[in-house]
Structures are given as C-alpha cells and as structure tokens.
C-alpha cells in the first residue's frame, strides 16, 4: 500500500525516530516465559470507558498507556518507558491511496518513549500529547525499515496493545453473534518464543478489563509490575474523573496546533509562540511572512481553555506545564536542534520555558527573540497597585502573576530583545481589567531590558527599541522591516 505513494516523505521522519530510539534502556530479561492474566472489576472498567476520558479529552488507550508508563517506571526506577506499539496501518496518508475496498489491517510496528511524572495530570497529558505527536500514527517506521533505514531489532523489547471492547452488553447483539469466554487452547505453539521481555494485551469483555501478560522478566519483577499497573490505573481513572468536574482540561492536540509559514523543503528555522490574547494569527499577517526561512506559528491552548475557579485547569495551567506540551510537538516538527525561538509578551515567557526544557534535555537553543516580554510581572503588578489603588479590588492575571522567575537559569542562546518604544494608550472607556493590563505593560518602558535578568542569565543580549508600543508593533511597518532584517541575518 505504501509503495503506491512513493512521494510520501517518510525520510523526513528519520530524525524523529532516531530521537525516540536514542534514549532507550532495555532491562535484563531471558527467563522462561510466564503467561498471566489480570482482571479489573466492572466498576473500574465502566469508569475507564465512560467517565474518565472526559477529564483530559483522552482515548481509552491514552489512560492505559499513562498507567503502563507509571507502573514500568516505578518498577524499574527509571524516568522513561520505551514501548513497541502496533498500528492498523489504515491511516489516511494521501488521496492517492484508497483502502475502502480492502479488508483487515496493514499492521505496523513502531517505538514510543513516554515520560513518567509524579503529577498525574502531567503524566496523562504528556502521554496523550506524545501519542498524538507520532507522525502518521507510526506507519512510517515500518516503511523506513523496509527501506533499510531502521531495523525491527531496534524496537523496544516491551509491547502494549489495547484491543478495545470485544463484546457488548447489548441484549440485541447478545442474541446474534457473540464471543465465547471459554478457553480455546493456545493460539500458538509453546515453542514459538519471541524476543520480547514483556508483552501486554488489554481488552474488555463482559464489561471487565482483562490484561494478558507474557513475561520473560524475573518473576519478582513481573509480579511487581502487575501490582504497580493495578494501582496506577486506578489512580489515573480516579484522577481523570475528578478532572472532568465541572469540566475537563483541553490540551494542545485538541485544537489546531499551529500553522507552517514559508513552507519549503528546508527544515523549520523559527518557532513562534503566541501572545496571551491571540494565537498563530497574531503573526501570520505581520512578522512571519517576512522571515526568509520556514517558520511555525503555534496556537494558544491557554486562551482556548475555559478556567472556572473550581476547575483543575484553573490551578494546573502554568507556563511550565504549558511548555511541556509545546515542547513535545516542537520536537515532532524538528526532532533535534539547533532551535530558534520567538515569543511576544505572554509568548516570550512560554518560549523561555520551552527553551529551558530543550536545554535540559541536551538540545541546543541557538537564538531566543523576545518582543517586549513581561518578566517579573508580579513586581510590575504590585507597583501599579501601589500607584493606582482603584485597581486593588481586581484579581491579578493568574498565570503571569504566579510565574516563578528563575534568575539562575543560564542559557547559551543568543538573545535578541525588542522593547516597546512608546506607551500603550490607556482609555477611560476601556474596562478596568484592560486599563490595569496597559498600566502594567507600560511599567516596562523604564525597566532595563524588560527585567530579563530576573528571569535568566543570558550569555549575550542584543537590545533594540521599537517605534511602536507593546501592542502596535505588529502594525508598524518600520518595526516589522527592522525585526525581519535582523532575524534573517542571525
């Protein structure tokens, strides 16, 4: 099937798959294979199928994979879980491929690396976004094996497969064809031994989640993993149900992630992070078209997420937790550095947090471009409150006010800072919230380098003063021309 679409750019995925495989650490195995089953009760299964997905807008597989990741990492004291997954191979890749007159699966196998986290929300969101970021749902890896770029021997020796709900409690269907639960004998010869350390298959029958395990791990390790998986899945399901009330959390893959500008065969050179009040559209008619290289403009999941005070989203979403999602999708688009990152206002703080994650993972961030960033926002907010007591009853902008500066963070990236050249006009007809925001933004006009040293220790900073204000530079031709000329020569 794939050969019918020889132009599909699977070779572009090679760095992505290399990146997934690079951190793989297999555990010792080779014991006689044990075959075990573990079953969850109807109550837990119904919660998993019907209630838990609403918490983080997940699929069942996302939750199972989150629990698997926590169980594996807790059992073997590691931060990553490397797995081999299977795909059905029927993904839409091109209008030139029509699978409508075919039957069965075009099974594909591919690796995935999922990161553990002590925070359940972060664990679930990271698992979900990592799975969503897999290019072509993994089909490309098998094709690249066929082309000699990889080998199936490189796949992790641990596999997981959720087969879905294989029967129904619907009486009408029960009267027709249904699956038997009786033992049908071994599906393959006992002499047919594979090289997998652990194979886990999950399915739902008679409204009970059943997990089948084939393990060549040490018996103690196998028992520990099963116990950890049971506990982890119960915790994931419970947390997801709690997160669903009064409404769940949206993540980046729930919206249009972003827009590629200046598309070409060359790799993406610049990543643009959105301001607080907008998304990719903030750059599409201003600076992005003036950049000579391909650039990717991200949309704003924080702006798209409703955050009532009694919701998990109200407390959970901070710059650090947002950055985790953006970094996952950035690494899909460009698996390795050097990276060039751009951010305006809210987007500058988000860009800085993404840069921290990349640098901490060993990647190179080459350039950071900040447009009138609001570093140390809390201090500016408090200054305005002291000068304008009429705003004292207003609640601060939560995500900016509670952002924890890290002045000790040292970056090797070259930083280019564009500061506002004039004040944002404050009109009496504006809402009090907008007036407060404008006053805070204007406080940066007399602050050295927008207080960047409160947020990081840059190795090199180049500062330019724009003609326009914090808000108007995107419509000021002189600023756009000057900014693009500088960025195109970096």
Which is nearest to 464 in space by CA: 418, 414, 423?
418
* 3-state SS, residue 322: helix
> Could you give the CA distance from residue 157 to residue 153 in angstroms, rounded to a whole number?
9
Same-fold call for 2-173+193-243 versus 252-487: no
Q: What is the pLDDT of residue 187?
A: 67
List all residues 6 or more positions away from 39 whose beta carbon is below 8 Å from its beta carbon: 208, 209, 210, 211
pTM: 0.92
In the chain, what are the domain boundaries? 2-173+193-243, 252-487
Give the residue from 366, 454, 376 showing the smallest Cα distance to 408.
454
Whole-angstrom distance, CA of residue 386 vs CA of residue 306? 30
Mention every residue, 6+ apart, whose C-beta is less than 8 A from residue 15: 334, 335, 336
Out of 3.40.50.1820, 3.30.300.90, 3.10.180.10, 3.40.50.10540, select the CATH number for domain 252-487: 3.40.50.1820
- Listing DSSP states for 259-297 in one string gives EEES--SSPP-EEEE--TT--THHHHTTTGGG-SS-EEE
Distance CA 484, CA 490 (A): 10
- Contact present, 55 and 249 (Cβ < 8 Å): yes
Label the pairing between strands 108-115 and 34-39: unpaired
pLDDT for the residue numbered 4 = 43
| Average pLDDT per block of 10 residues along the chain, 490 residues long | 54 94 86 93 98 97 98 96 86 69 82 97 98 93 94 95 80 58 70 83 95 95 97 98 94 97 90 96 97 97 93 94 98 95 98 97 96 97 95 94 93 96 95 96 96 94 97 97 96
Positive or negative, the CA dihedral 389, 390, 395, 400 is negative
Compute the distance between CA of residue 259 and CA of residue 285 in angstroms, rounded to an integer: 12
**Cβ(87)–Cβ(111) below 8 Å:** no
CATH 3.30.559.30 fits 2-173+193-243, yes or no: yes
């Amino acid at each position: 099937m794939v050969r019918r679409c020889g132009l599909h750019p699977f070779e572009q995925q090679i760095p992505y798959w290399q990146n997934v495989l690079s951190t793989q650490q297999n555990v010792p195995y080779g014991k006689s294979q044990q075959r075990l089953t573990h079953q969850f009760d109807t109550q837990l299964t119904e919660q998993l199928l019907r209630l838990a997905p609403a918490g983080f807008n997940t699929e069942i597989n996302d939750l199972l994979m989150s629990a698997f990741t926590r169980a594996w990492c807790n059992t073997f004291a590691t931060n990553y879980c490397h797995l081999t997954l299977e795909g059905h191979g029927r993904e839409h890749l091109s209008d030139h491929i029509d699978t409508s007159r075919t039957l069965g699966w075009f099974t594909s196998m591919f690796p995935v690396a999922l990161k553990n986290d002590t925070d359940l929300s972060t664990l679930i969101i990271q698992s979900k976004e990592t799975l969503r970021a897999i290019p072509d749902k993994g089909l490309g890896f098998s094709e690249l094996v066929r082309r000699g770029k990889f080998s199936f021997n490189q796949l992790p020796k641990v596999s997981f497969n959720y087969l879905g709900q294989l029967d129904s409690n619907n009486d009408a269907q029960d009267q027709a064809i249904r699956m038997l639960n009786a033992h049908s004998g071994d599906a393959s010869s006992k002499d047919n031994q594979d090289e997998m350390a652990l194979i886990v298959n999950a399915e739902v029958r008679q409204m009970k989640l059943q997990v089948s395990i084939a393990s060549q791990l040490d018996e103690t390790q196998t028992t520990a993993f099963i116990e950890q998986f049971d506990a982890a899945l119960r915790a994931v399901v419970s947390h997801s149900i709690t997160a669903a009330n009064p409404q769940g959390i949206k993540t980046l893959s729930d919206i249009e992630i972003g827009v590629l500008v200046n598309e070409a065969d060359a790799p993406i050179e610049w990543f643009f992070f959105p301001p607080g009040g907008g998304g990719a559209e903030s750059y599409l008619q201003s600076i992005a078209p003036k950049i000579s290289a391909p650039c990717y403009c991200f949309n704003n999941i924080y702006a798209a997420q409703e955050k009532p005070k009694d919701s998990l989203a109200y407390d959970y979403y901070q710059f650090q937790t947002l950055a985790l999602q953006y970094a996952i999708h950035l690494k899909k688009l460009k698996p390795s550095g050097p990276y060039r990152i751009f951010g305006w206002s809210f987007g500058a703080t988000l860009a800085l947090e993404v840069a921290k994650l990349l640098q901490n993972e060993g990647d190179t961030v080459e350039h950071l471009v900040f447009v009138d960033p609001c570093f140390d926002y809390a201090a500016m907010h408090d200054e305005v409150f002291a000068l304008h007591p009429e705003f004292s009853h207003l609640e601060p902008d939560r995500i900016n006010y509670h952002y924890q500066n890290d002045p000790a963070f040292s970056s090797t990236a070259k930083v280019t800072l564009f500061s506002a050249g004039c004040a944002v006009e404050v009109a009496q007809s504006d809402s009090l919230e907008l007036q407060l925001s404008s006053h805070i933004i204007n406080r940066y006009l007399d602050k050295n380098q927008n207080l960047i040293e409160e947020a990081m220790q840059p190795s090199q900073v180049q500062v330019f003063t724009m003609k326009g204000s914090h808000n108007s530079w995107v419509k000021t031709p002189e600023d756009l021309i000057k900014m693009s000329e500088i960025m195109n020569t970096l």
